[in-house]
Amino acid sequence: MKSIHTVLCDLLGIQHPILQGGMGPYKTQALAAAVSNAGALGVISSIGMAASMLPEAAPIDAVRLFGTDPPKVILEKSIEAVAKETKRSGGVFGVNVPVASEFTIASEMFVEQAIESRENDSDIEKRLRVIITSAGNPKPWAKIKEHGLLWFHVVPSVYHARKAEAAGADVIIASGHEGGAHVSWEPVHSTVLVPAVAKAVKKPVVAAGGFCDGRTLAAALCMGAEGVQMGTRFIATQESDFEPIWKQAIIDREERQTLVGRGVFGPMRFLRNNRSEQIVEQTLRDIPGFYLGQPVESNEDILGIERSGFVDLMGEKPETALMLGGEVTGRIKDIPTVKDLIASVIDEAVKTLELAPKRVKTK
């Protein structure tokens, strides 16, 4: 099988220029191990782990998902588990830490734990290579690099990309509005955002939002990115930590069947069903200026809807379960193993890039 090699592969020590997105509410522990074993970058998600710190405000049942361990211990155990599961392959992995202002205490704790895990285990030090920050100001997080870690930051605009570069981020992840879960207030999509960011910064760029196969990986490379981050596509895999009804919902929906509504930390893209329609209705009632980024006085109504949605997810009620996903859901029609998925993405990308000169003639 042919391969695709970019600067991103050299930087991380991975075989394929593909990152797995950090997706809550799960810790994506099993998924991260599978992705790393397949030669890409698996990522542990920390956002759900912090739910027990805010029991009244948390949209999920943290005990049901993670047990009774404190959040820091949950992350510590996840790092150890992924390191163990990837020991034979030597795969490398990362941790995603949201750094929204509402999440600051948890962000500090999770970054400290990732650093501590590396310092306490030489094998983890070699293979826990990166912390990916998102959803907040990058400037306070340059300290990540002082501990031998790579630091990637997710951005929704050229303005934010320049801020991340100025702060010292090693890689900029340009995330378009069609992505699932957390999205920006301003709907700038990947075909506009990715080439604009690649032109605006000197650091390597990873494209996110709408990428799921070889054709979109090839497109990202042609737009100036060094690789892609995939979230929704990785949910619908055999090894992913997500509920079966969530995987099936992704397969069943077309590209028009997602909705953007208010989430706890800002706007989020959901798979369309009765529950997400309820969130959008509540969003429009509470904040007519939602798309202008106007603040919300209270999240209580949205929190109540989200809690009910996650309870129904665990109860396998597909019409009222709360499920996140990107527009790319319309292009996903199967649930392969992670290894087969990554192999197919690379194979199709190679064929697409090799075919392009035959399809297009220049003068």
The pLDDT tens digits for 157-170 are: 999 999 999 999 99
How far apart are the C-alpha atoms of 71 and 87, rounded to whole Å? 24
Q: Residue 41 in contact with residue 14, Cβ under 8 Å?
A: yes
* Parallel, antiparallel or unpaired: strands 227-230 and 128-134: unpaired
**At 2, is the pLDDT very low, low, confident or very high (cuts 50, 70, 90)?**
confident
pLDDT score recorded for residue 263 = 78
Name the nearest CA neighbour of 40 among 352, 342, 244: 342
Tell me which CATH code domain 7-242+332-355 carries.
Answer: 3.20.20.70
Q: What mean pLDDT comes out for the span 199-208?
A: 98
Q: What mean pLDDT comes out for the span 124-146?
A: 94
**At 242, is the pLDDT very low, low, confident or very high (cuts 50, 70, 90)?**
very high
pLDDT surpasses 70 at 204: yes
**At 63, is the pLDDT very low, low, confident or very high (cuts 50, 70, 90)?**
low
pLDDT score recorded for residue 186 = 87
Exposed e or buried b per residue across 3-13, where buried means at least 16 C-beta atoms within 10 angstroms of its C-beta: ebebebbebbe
Residues of the chain within CATH 3.20.20.70 domain(s) are: 7-242+332-355
State the DSSP code for 146. G
pLDDT score recorded for residue 292 = 53
Q: What mean pLDDT comes out for the span 292-307?
A: 61
pLDDT surpasses 80 at 94: yes
How far apart are the C-alpha atoms of 152 and 165, rounded to whole Å? 10
**Which H/E stretch holds residue 196?**
helix 190-200
pLDDT score recorded for residue 136 = 87
Count CB neighbours of 67 within 10 A. 11
Query: pTM of the predicted model, to two decimals?
Result: 0.92
pLDDT score recorded for residue 362 = 81
Q: What mean pLDDT comes out for the span 313-328?
A: 87
For the ranges 63-72, 83-92, 238-247, the lowest mean pLDDT is seen at 63-72
pLDDT score recorded for residue 300 = 58
